[in-house]
């Protein structure tokens, strides 16, 4: 994912993402609830939905010069609390509010305009880097394996001006996002939809595994759809390489400041929909896993084609980071 239903980050006890429940309107809070329940959107879609929510709240502000710092603070807390591990949401909020001396309707609207321009710039550079990566290989047909739904990867592959790729898509249980991916990509490429357990049958023929990213952690580990970790481990035994595809907004600031990351279990009925009659039968359902950095060959991003270590160092120099430590402690 990335990347669409996101893992839950369970902060240590001194993080207080409390809801103030005073300034944010009921209508906006309902939209934030829908954001929390959304299990179909990719990271870019979440960013756009977040900006829409903030725009809706600003429309309720009549005086464009009124200080709305308390409102923006509460709204930011509400959005982050809805998807606390969604790194792009945290970084979107950061770009909106960091360093603002005057927080009013006008200043936030200007920042929204700037962030949209920044996202377009990032998308364009990432596209250029991705195309540069693919075109440097002389092999007539490259075979690519994908897992889960990544709006970024779908967009990049759709815009690639050749059809000399063969795509293998894992079904991505339990929500079967791979079905949607294979339907979209088969409009352009020969596409093979396979069950997750069949990854080993096809991996020897694969040139590259492209994985979306829900979050890049401070140590270089990557949170993505469950199955990414074993897929990356398996790929190490072949001639194929694993490349994470993401942009700077995927760097997780909670992880940066040393807070605990925990993958949340989801409803077991998605895996086993019968009534459990045996006390010793335990059913588990996780949407995400964590892949250690040693299984990632590189990162294709708006910062270039880098190692995971290089990517993190570049991100730290580019992203506004310091604001977040003060934000979570306030």
Q: What is the pLDDT of residues 154-164, one digit of tens each?
A: 999 999 988 88
The pLDDT score that the predictor gives to residue 18 is 45
Contact present, 230 and 237 (Cβ < 8 Å): no
Does 113 share its domain with 160? no
Domain range enclosing 91: 26-122+322-329
Does 105 share its domain with 213? no
Does 61 share its domain with 156? no
Does 110 share its domain with 146? no
The pLDDT score that the predictor gives to residue 70 is 92
Domain CATH code at residue 74: 1.20.120.420
Residue 8, both tokens: 């839950």
Q: Is the pTM of this model over 0.85?
A: yes
The pLDDT score that the predictor gives to residue 16 is 43
Does 44 share its domain with 142? no
Does 150 share its domain with 275? yes
Contact present, 3 and 149 (Cβ < 8 Å): yes
Residue 272, both tokens: 């086993």
Q: Which residue shows structure tokens 């996202």?
A: 119
User: Strand pairing partners for 167?
Assistant: 144, 191
Q: Is residue 314 part of a domain?
A: yes
Cα separation, 94 vs 102, whole angstroms: 15
Does 67 share its domain with 208? no
Q: Is residue 262 part of a domain?
A: yes
Concatenating the DSSP letter of every residue in 210-250 gives EE--SEE-TTS-EEEETTHHHHHHHHTTSS-EEEEE--GGG
| DSSP secondary structure letter of residue 138 | -
Does 118 share its domain with 156? no
Q: Which parts of the chain have pLDDT scores under 70?
A: 1-22
Degrees, nearest 5: CA angle 55-328-47: 30
Cα separation, 130 vs 208, whole angstroms: 13
The pLDDT score that the predictor gives to residue 22 is 65
What's the domain count of the chain?
2
Domain CATH code at residue 242: 3.40.50.10470
Does 116 share its domain with 220? no
pLDDT in tens, 221-259: 999 999 999 999 999 999 999 999 999 999 999 999 998
């Amino acid at each position: 994912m990335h990347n669409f239903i996101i893992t839950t980050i369970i902060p240590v006890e001194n993080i207080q993402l409390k809801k103030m429940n005073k300034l944010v309107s009921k209508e906006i809070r309902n939209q934030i609830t829908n954001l929390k329940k959304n299990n179909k959107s990719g990271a870019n879609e979440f960013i756009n939905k977040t900006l829409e929510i903030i725009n809706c709240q600003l429309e309720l502000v009549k005086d464009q010069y009124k200080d709305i710092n308390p409102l923006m603070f509460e709204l930011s807390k509400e959005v982050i609390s809805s998807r606390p591990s969604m790194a792009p949401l945290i970084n979107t909020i950061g770009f909106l509010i960091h360093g603002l001396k005057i927080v009013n309707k006008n200043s936030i609207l200007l920042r929204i305009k700037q962030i949209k321009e920044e996202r377009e710039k990032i998308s364009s550079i990432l596209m250029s880097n991705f195309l540069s990566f693919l075109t440097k290989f002389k092999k007539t047909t490259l075979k690519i394996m994908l897992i889960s739904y990544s709006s970024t990867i779908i967009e990049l592959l759709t815009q690639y001006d050749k059809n000399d790729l063969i795509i293998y898509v894992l079904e991505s249980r339990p929500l079967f996002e791979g079905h949607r991916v294979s339907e979209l990509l088969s409009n352009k490429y020969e596409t093979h939809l396979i069950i997750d357990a069949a990854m080993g049958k096809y991996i020897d023929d694969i040139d590259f595994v492209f994985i979306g990213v829900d979050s890049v952690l401070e140590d270089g580990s990557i949170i993505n759809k469950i199955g990414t970790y074993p897929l990356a481990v398996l790929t190490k035994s072949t001639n194929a390489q694993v490349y994470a595809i993401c942009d700077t907004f995927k760097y997780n600031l909670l992880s940066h400041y040393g807070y605990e990351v925990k993958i949340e279990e989801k409803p077991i009925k998605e895996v086993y929909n019968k009534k459990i009659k045996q006390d010793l039968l335990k059913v588990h359902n996780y949407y995400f896993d964590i892949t250690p950095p040693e299984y990632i060959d590189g990162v294709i991003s708006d910062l270039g084609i880098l190692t995971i270590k290089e990517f993190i160092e570049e991100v730290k120099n580019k992203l506004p980071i310091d604001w977040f430590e003060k934000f979570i402690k306030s």
